[in-house]
């Protein structure tokens, strides 16, 4: 990749982030012109205390003054205090972020490995029984929302068999240190991670299958076969690496969206991550929390989109050399 390509992508990501920050400011002031009305304990506030709270929330002064205060606070990662818990929003997010990253990371890895394999094999064996069955199954998975899988797993596996917990991140009173803690967390992660894996498996598989079908018509595959390479070698050494190019962008971009998709899954399983925090903030109209979570989710999409562009430039030198 040349310097100009990287610079353009970095600048584009930065400008997009600035636009999101500005949009974030106006969005939640349009939604509720008096956010303090949702503050817990507002009935006990005196006039002086209300003025202090308005100033602390950056709601005093003109809209321009509020915007300047908001930009300065955001630059310091100061998102105020949660209306619901009264704790600093940044601390709420930092406490819940590891749980969501663990859930999203495990499910994304599983989805990539399984989805890319199914899509590559289905595309390579176009028209076979495996292709017909896997394509039909992945279409069903693609069309079904992940919270539905969660409710099915919760009802039939956790509820009837009792093999897995119905919610939470760890058992109450369980050992919080050592290997026992790891096993306890893994036990709680099985159903939520399986839910997200099933929810996004169809997308990965269908994208990879489409890419593989487009790759099959390329001349270099015919050349590889003419050189006497085995069919499996042609597939693994030539077809799959080139078919992965569109999938790489989709994988990176969708990773950011999976964080948002975890909202319903975490809510179904009462999993204490950012998704459940978002659902609670919506239910309690916790605007400082919602504003910060919106910024975090949007930033994740922007960052992973940037990583997708840079990775694509590495995998395809023609793009990396583009001016």
How many Å separate Cα 52 from the centre of its chain? 37
Provide CB contacts within 8 A for 86, sequence distance 6+: 40
Looking at beta carbons, which pairs linking 5-8 to residues 24 or more positions away fall under 8 Å?
5/313, 5/319, 5/320, 5/321, 5/322, 5/323, 6/310, 6/313
Q: What is the mean pLDDT of residues 106-135?
A: 87
Looking at domain 3-320, its CATH superfamily turns out to be MetI-like (1.10.3720.10)
In the predicted structure, residue 240 carries a pLDDT above the cut 80: no
Most confident of 23-37, 135-149, 213-227: 135-149
- pTM for the whole structure: 0.78
- Percent over 70 (pLDDT), the chain: 78
Per-residue pLDDT band at 276 (split at 50, 70, 90)? confident
**80 token code pair:** 């105020």
In the predicted structure, residue 63 carries a pLDDT above the cut 60: yes
How many Å separate Cα 11 from the centre of its chain? 23
- Summary mean pLDDT of the chain: 78
Cα pseudo-dihedral 79, 83, 87, 89, rounded to 10? -30
């Amino acid at each position: 990749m040349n310097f100009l390509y990287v610079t353009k992508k970095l600048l584009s990501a930065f400008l997009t982030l600035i636009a999101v920050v500005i949009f974030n400011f106006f969005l939640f002031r349009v939604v509720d012109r008096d956010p303090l009305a949702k503050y817990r304990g507002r009935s006990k506030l005196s006039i002086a205390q209300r003025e202090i709270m308005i100033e602390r929330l950056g709601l005093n002064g003109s809209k321009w003054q509020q915007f300047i205060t908001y930009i300065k606070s955001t630059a310091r990662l100061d998102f105020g205090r949660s209306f619901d818990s009264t704790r600093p929003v940044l601390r709420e997010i930092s406490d819940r972020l590891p749980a969501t990253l663990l859930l999203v990371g495990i499910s994304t890895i599983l989805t990539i490995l399984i989805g890319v394999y199914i899509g590559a094999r289905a595309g390579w064996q176009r028209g076979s029984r495996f292709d017909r069955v896997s394509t039909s199954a992945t279409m069903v998975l693609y069309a079904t929302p992940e919270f539905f899988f969660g409710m099915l797993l919760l009802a039939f596996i956790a509820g009837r068999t009792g093999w897995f917990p119905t919610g939470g991140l760890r058992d109450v009173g369980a050992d919080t240190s050592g290997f026992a803690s790891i096993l306890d967390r893994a036990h709680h992660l099985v159903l939520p991670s399986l839910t997200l894996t099933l929810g996004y498996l169809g997308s990965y598989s269908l994208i990879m299958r489409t890419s593989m079908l487009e790759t099959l018509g390329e001349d270099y595959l015919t050349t590889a076969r003419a050189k006497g390479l085995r069919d499996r070698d042609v597939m693994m050494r030539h077809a799959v690496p080139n078919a992965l190019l569109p999938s790489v962008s989709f994988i990176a971009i969708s990773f950011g969206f999976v964080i948002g998709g975890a909202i319903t899954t975490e809510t179904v399983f009462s999993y204490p991550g950012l998704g459940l925090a978002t659902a609670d903030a919506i239910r309690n109209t916790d605007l400082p929390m919602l504003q910060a979570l919106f910024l975090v989710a949007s930033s994740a999409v922007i960052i992973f989109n940037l990583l997708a562009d840079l990775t694509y430039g590495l995998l395809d030198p023609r793009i990396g050399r583009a001016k």
